[in-house]
């Protein structure tokens, strides 16, 4: 069994960074559905802006909102306005075809990669 890339949101823009929130990342549910990420699933977030890398879990955001909110202590590392890549992984015994999307500056779906 290997851990493989299962899904990716490429070049998303952080819309909020909420230190007071308990933790996790809130993502527009339309984006989650396009790449088959589940609420509660572990993700790796990589900032193209600062180079920070964090692991956290997903919270479903409002559909169509474009919301990408870094919550809790991670908001010290990744700030509002940063460009990020959000990566989900899957375990498999065989190669899989990941679902990867590219979004615009408002986190609206542009195309599959």
Residues annotated as catalytic (active site), given as ranges: 24, 57
* Residue 25, C-beta contacts closer than 8 angstroms, at least 6 positions apart: 43, 45, 56, 57, 58, 59, 68, 69, 70, 71, 74, 86
Q: Where are the beta strands (DSSP E) in 53-108?
A: 53-61, 68-71, 83-92, 99-103
- CA–CA gap between residue 102 and residue 113 (Å, rounded): 6
């Amino acid at each position: 069994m290997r851990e493989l890339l299962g899904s990716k949101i490429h070049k998303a823009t952080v819309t909020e960074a909420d230190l007071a929130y308990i933790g996790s990342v809130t993502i527009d549910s339309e984006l989650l559905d396009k790449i088959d990420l589940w609420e509660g699933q572990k993700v790796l977030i990589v900032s193209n802006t600062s180079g920070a890398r964090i692991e956290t879990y997903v919270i479903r955001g409002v559909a169509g909102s474009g919301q990408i909110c870094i919550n809790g202590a991670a908001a010290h590392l990744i700030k509002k306005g940063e460009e990020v890549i959000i990566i989900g992984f899957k375990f498999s015994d065989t190669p899989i075809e990941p679902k990867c999307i590219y979004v615009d500056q408002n986190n609206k779906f542009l195309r599959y990669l």
